[in-house]
């Protein structure tokens, strides 16, 4: 299998070892991501505990419908991502490319809706540090809730944008016939990343949108 040997980087013995290393590398990286977001979740938990009323009031100012739509969009993108990996394993190039494009579109839809939501917050003067002046009575320290809302969803969106970039790279490689049924670790690794970013949102949605029931 000469083409297989060509794909193995010089530091590895064979392709199998390289694949294992790539996947372990991504899992270890996701370990760092868990700790990174963990710091944010810690801060969120502390202030939600101290200022529960303010967090509840802030949560009710979010657009639940857009949040729910976005959650389904993201879950759908996870599904198409899983299909991409499956197609790569079977060596079906056309399906792989279609599913990758679908995943990218769904990711962009998510980011677009998120952008609309951010726009609403600016419109309603709900942006701490820039323009925080909500209408009517609001509990003290509600700005803390919105600080965390923006930081947490912003960090998540940043990871989505990185994910879109990675998908683009995979798409180009797929179009160039770089993947075979035996050699597709890149697709798998990017897939793991994409699912992880989705899972972060699965935690963010209830924590930010559903405080105290709606």
User: In the complex, which residues of this chain contact other proteins (CB under 8 A)?
Assistant: 9-13, 17, 20-21, 24-25, 28-29, 31-33, 35-40, 42-43, 46-47, 50-51, 128-130, 140-141, 143-144, 147, 151
For residue 177, what are its two tokens?
């016939």
Its sign, for the CA torsion 152, 158, 161, 163, is negative
Angle at 108 between CA 125 and CA 203, to 5 degrees: 70
Shortest separation between residue 189's beta carbon and other proteins, angstroms: 12
Q: How far is the CB of 206 from other proteins (least distance, A)?
A: 21
CB of 171 to other proteins, least distance (A): 21
d(C-alpha 180, C-alpha 207), whole Å: 41
Can you read off the two tokens belonging to residue 193?
């990343």
For other proteins, the closer CB: 33 or 63: 33
Identity of the residue, 151 or 199, whose beta carbon is nearer to other proteins in the bound complex: 151
C-alpha–C-alpha distance, residues 195 and 87, integer Å: 17
The nearer residue to other proteins, 4 or 131, going by C-beta atoms, is: 131
Residue 117 beta carbon to other proteins: minimum distance, rounded to whole angstroms: 18
CA–CA dist 112, 118 (Å, integer): 10
């Amino acid at each position: 299998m000469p083409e297989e040997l060509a794909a193995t980087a010089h530091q590895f013995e064979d392709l199998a070892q390289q694949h294992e290393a790539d996947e372990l590398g991504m899992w270890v990286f996701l370990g760092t991501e868990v700790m990174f977001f963990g710091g944010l979740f810690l801060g969120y938990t502390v202030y939600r505990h101290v200022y529960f009323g303010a967090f509840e009031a802030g949560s009710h100012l979010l657009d639940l419908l857009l949040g729910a739509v976005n959650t389904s969009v993201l879950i759908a993108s996870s599904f198409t991502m899983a299909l991409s990996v499956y197609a790569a394993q079977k060596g079906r190039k056309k399906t792989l490319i279609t599913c990758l494009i679908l995943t990218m579109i769904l990711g962009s839809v998510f980011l677009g809706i998120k952008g609309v939501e951010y726009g609403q917050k600016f419109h309603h003067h709900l942006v701490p540090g820039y323009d925080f002046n909500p209408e009517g009575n609001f509990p003290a320290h509600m700005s803390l809730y919105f600080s965390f809302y923006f930081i947490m969803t912003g960090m998540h969106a940043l990871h989505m944008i990185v994910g879109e970039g990675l998908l683009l790279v995979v798409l180009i490689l797929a179009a160039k016939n770089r993947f075979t049924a035996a050699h597709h670790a890149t697709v798998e690794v990017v897939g793991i990343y994409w699912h992880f970013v989705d899972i972060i949102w699965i935690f963010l949605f209830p924590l930010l949108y559903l405080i105290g029931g709606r």
